[in-house]
Amino acid sequence: MATAILFKNADLYAPEHKGIKQILTVNEKIIAVEDEISADLPGLEVIDLNGAIVTPGLIDQHIHVTGGGGEGGPLTRAPELNFSELVEGGITSFVGVSGTD
């Protein structure tokens, strides 16, 4: 069975500012983006974003996933990253690079 979600009152950037829109997704894919969407789908979940900003996922082209640095000793080493920390910052794709150590 398909999972349908209608997001209302999204302040959309795609990446340019589109204003307040409604976004309809079915099975985690965007089906429609309009000022007003009238959908009658079985099990439709409606979520009011109350003007929250919605943007495409960001790409970080240079990231030390396992930490990095340390040239000045253990106190200068950057810690490892967790994917959840990246997602919280809007990063959905990244390119891992090696450190100097």
* C-alpha distances out from residue 32 to 24, 38, 70, 79, Å: 5, 11, 48, 40
Q: pLDDT value at position 97? A: 81
The residue with tokens 């997602």 is 87
Q: pLDDT value at position 87? A: 87
Q: Where does the pLDDT of residue 90 fall: very low under 50, low under 70, confident under 90, or very high at 90 and above? A: confident
35-89: per-residue pLDDT in tens? Answer: 999 988 999 999 999 999 999 988 999 888 877 777 778 788 778 888 888 888 8
- What region, left, alpha or beta, does residue 88 occupy, with left being phi > 0 and alpha being psi -120 to 50 degrees? alpha
Q: pLDDT value at position 8? A: 98
Q: pLDDT value at position 101? A: 52
Q: Where does the pLDDT of residue 99 fall: very low under 50, low under 70, confident under 90, or very high at 90 and above? A: low
What's the rounded mean pLDDT across residues 22-40? 96
Task: Label the pairing between strands 17-26 and 29-34.
Answer: antiparallel
- Write out the residue limits of the CATH 2.30.40.10 domain(s) in the chain: 4-54
CATH T-level assignment (fold) for domain 4-54: Urease, subunit C; domain 1 (2.30.40)
- With 60 as the cut, is the pLDDT of residue 31 above it? yes
**Amino acid making up residue 70:** G
